[in-house]
Amino acid sequence: MAIGGRNYTTQGTKERILEAAGEVFVAHGFQSATVREICRKAGVNIAAVNYHFRNKENLYLATLRYCREISFKKYPVYPDMRESEQPEERLRSFVHSFVFRVLEEGKASRFAKLVAKEYVQPSKALDVLVKETMRPAFTRLFAIVRQLAGKGPDDETVRYCCMSIVGQFLFFLYARPVLKRLFGKASFKAEEIAAIAEHITLFSLHAIRGLKG
């Protein structure tokens, strides 16, 4: 395909569009982002978007999946651990992977930022996100917390525990403007992210163990 006097492979053009779309959707959200701006940033014309994705909705869903693939490749949602591992270590691995996906700067955090925008302004893609990403991850977290909590707490209590764990992740994602004003910083180095993840792990483990009485 020739665009602007240059030749791009079909796959190369598609990836350029997805890269540009990731930046634009993160900056503006689905509703406010424009295909025109995405094309300008990708160095392609609108016909290329129509050819590969047909419309903005399809492009957005493809971008979510593309960003998810990049994020989960670096920080797997299902870390490579044996089921025989202690539940404390499985929770630690789950939390650390999640926190790094949320707080790291760069491409690996784009998916979390896009999902955060879906929480505030849901699009039709939210149902797909829940089915393909959120429900499987929550199911795995539920299994870990259930094992930690034992037979005492009912399923509703275990679900609340899972929500509380996820809520700690999301605080650092949503509260960055407040953190900047309170503590003078809104971004974190790798060692700081690891420390946050470990704090969330230990805090959560202590709370879950407390349910046993």
CB < 8 Å & 24+ apart, contacts of 30-39: 30/56, 30/60, 30/117, 30/121, 30/123, 30/125, 31/121, 31/123, 33/60, 35/59
What are 81's two structure tokens?
């651990």
- How many Cβ atoms from other residues are within 10 Å of residue 19's Cβ? 19
- 8 A C-beta contact, residue 111 and residue 101: yes
How large is the average pLDDT for residues 17-37? 97
Q: How far apart are CA 44 and CA 166, in angstroms?
A: 39
pLDDT for 85 equals 82
Measured at the CA of 63, the angle between CA 100 and CA 175, to 5 degrees, comes to 40
With cut-offs at 50, 70 and 90, classify the pLDDT of residue 76: confident
Q: Output the pLDDT for position 186.
A: 80
- β partners of residue 6: 3
pLDDT at 47: 95
Asked if 49 contacts 39 with a C-beta cutoff of 8 angstroms, the reply is yes
**Is residue 210 exposed (0-12), middle (13-18) or buried (19+ Cβ within 10 Å)?**
exposed
Give the model's pLDDT for residue 207.
96
Residue in the structure block whose two tokens are 């955060």: 116
Domains in the chain, CATH or no CATH each: 2-54 (1.10.10.60), 68-210 (1.10.357.10)
* pTM flag (> 0.85): yes
What is the rounded CA–CA span in Å between residue 147 and residue 134? Answer: 20
The tens digit of pLDDT for each residue in 139-178 reads: 999 999 999 999 889 999 999 999 999 999 999 888 988 9
pLDDT digit string (tens) for 78-113? 655 565 689 999 999 999 999 999 999 889 999 999
